[in-house]
Amino acid sequence: MTMTLPSDIRTELYEAMTANTYVRLSLPEGEHEGFIVGLSKQLVLLQAIHEWQDVGALIAPVESIEACEVSEFHDAQIRILDFNSVKRTKRYSWVKLGSYEELFKSLKFKNKFVVVSLEDDADVGQIDSIEKDSVDLKAVDPGGNWIEEALDCPYEEITLVQFDDSYSRTLQRYVERTSATLN
């Protein structure tokens, strides 16, 4: 999966982050729009925007980014986001992007439910344990039930990590509420 990233894309990511520019990132599995709010040599953190709404955070390997584009409608898009009270945020400044290990430690510390997308699959749940080359996820099925065995997610297979999105937040609240009523 290792590929050489053209330096111009890395430069575009950095410039978009420092300018607070609204961008569209093209990844092999699709496009995502928002504001780049964190960047390391390995990972990019996007405050994701969909349909004029802040939809949480998305982290992708920098090497997987095919393009970082600014729309010809950029200024109008920013005005619409401002109209809808969507602002660029620093609320993710606590996220550590130096490596996957650091990333997952920071997410676990904040007790975040995450969506981890691997090459052909995606799972949502709580970070169970963090190793040098993988993270174990205590996953939840779509019905809000804990999956008995932790799922091993090798870093080299991770294509996307999401948190603070509606899906994972809803499942986390549901699981916490049903666990509390069972005890």
Classify domain 100-182 by CATH number: 2.30.30.100
User: Where in the chain are the domains?
Assistant: 7-83, 100-182
More confident residue, 90 or 24: 24
Contacts of 30 (CB under 8 A, 6+ apart): none
The tens digit of pLDDT for each residue in 14-25 reads 999 999 899 999
Instruction: Note the pLDDT of residue 4.
Output: 41
- Looking at domain 7-83, its CATH architecture is Roll (2.30)
Percent of the chain with pLDDT over 90: 71
Is residue 64 a contact partner of residue 50, using CB atoms and an 8 Å limit? no
Task: Please give the model's pTM, rounded to 2 decimal places.
Answer: 0.88
pLDDT at 2: 36
Q: What integer best gives the mean pLDDT of the chain?
A: 90
Matching CATH topology for 7-83 and 100-182? yes
- Return the half-sphere exposure (C-beta side, CA atoms, 13 A cut-off) of residue 65: 31
Q: What span, in angstroms and rounded, lies between the C-alpha atoms of 139 and 152?
A: 10
Q: Is the pLDDT of residue 159 over 50?
A: yes
How much is the pLDDT for 180? Answer: 66
